[in-house]
């Protein structure tokens, strides 16, 4: 029977200490997976405690996803902690809003390194483990509606989100023969730390709510559910897909 039960599975979630990543960790754990919670600038112990308090298994994994050595150490530590790796969620990402004309090169480089290079490094390290295990796996990357549209102060960010989706499409071809599915989730406007200041501007939140047919800004848990679906047997034949989760924002041109 096809279910969304993840009992016996091991998941690694990058950027799992807050926002969308935190919600994903909690939902994966509730579905039965053991979860390695990656963090870098924010402590992940609160997420680990919440999972363990609910009877689940979790461990915090500190690593900069833009550094190959730290990524490989993190993946090995996950396998050592839980005996394998079945699910990777590439969620870590940054988006420091900035004007294009005076954008520093080092800011561009850091956004590319964390968002796109990080997804590549983590996917490569995790896929090597999954291929060796021989039992298939799931790689799910958090792209964005920004992969499909532009952003005036996001000229460094939107290319990474388009690149992440393209990476998943290519990996779907490469890793499909090994039983590893690779998909991306494209959130719309979700209330997180990244856009907290932007949505706090007078009228901005109301404007976005009017644009979204469902009438509200998304919450991190709205993304976590689709991730659990893609991680489960219910999505066993979904490969190379981009799942837009935006409350209808993209299709509303009115």
Which are the catalytic amino acids? 144, 157, 161
Q: Which two tokens stand for residue 205?
A: 């939140």
What is residue 104's DSSP assignment? -
Cα separations (Å) of 112 from 17, 92, 142, 240, 245? 21, 12, 15, 22, 23
Would the CA dihedral through 249, 233, 181, 40 be positive or negative?
positive
CA distance linking residue 16 with residue 42, whole number of Å: 9
CA distance linking residue 153 with residue 95, whole number of Å: 9
Length of the chain: 254
Sheet containing strand 87-90, edge to edge, reads 58-62, 34-39, 10-13, 87-90, 137-142, 180-187, 242-245
């Amino acid at each position: 029977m096809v279910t969304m039960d993840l009992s016996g599975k091991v998941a690694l979630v990058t950027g799992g200490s807050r926002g969308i990543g935190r919600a994903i960790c909690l939902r994966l754990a509730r579905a039965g997976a053991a979860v390695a919670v990656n963090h870098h600038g924010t402590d992940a112990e609160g997420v680990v405690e919440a999972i363990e308090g609910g009877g689940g298994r979790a461990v915090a994994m500190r690593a900069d996803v833009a550094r190959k050595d730290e990524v490989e150490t993190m993946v090995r530590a996950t396998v050592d902690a839980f005996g394998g790796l079945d699910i990777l969620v590439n969620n870590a990402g940054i988006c420091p809003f900035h004007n294009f004309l005076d954008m520093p090169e080092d800011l561009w480089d850091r956004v590319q390194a964390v968002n796109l290079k990080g997804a590549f490094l983590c996917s490569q390290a995790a896929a090597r483990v999954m291929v060796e295990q021989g039992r298939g796996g799931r790689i799910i990357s958090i792209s964005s509606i920004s992969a499909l549209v532009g952003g005036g102060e996001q000229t460094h960010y939107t290319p990474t989100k388009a690149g992440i989706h393209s990476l998943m499409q290519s990996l779907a071809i490469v890793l499909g023969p090994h039983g590893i599915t690779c998909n991306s989730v494209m959130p719309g406007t979700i209330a997180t730390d990244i856009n907290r200041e932007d949505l706090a501007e007078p009228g901005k939140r109301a404007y976005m709510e009017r644009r979204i047919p469902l009438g509200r800004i998304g919450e991190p848990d709205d993304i976590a559910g689709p991730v659990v679906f893609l991680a489960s047997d219910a999505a066993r034949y979904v490969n190379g897909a981009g799942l837009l989760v935006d409350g209808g924002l993209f299709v509303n041109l009115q």
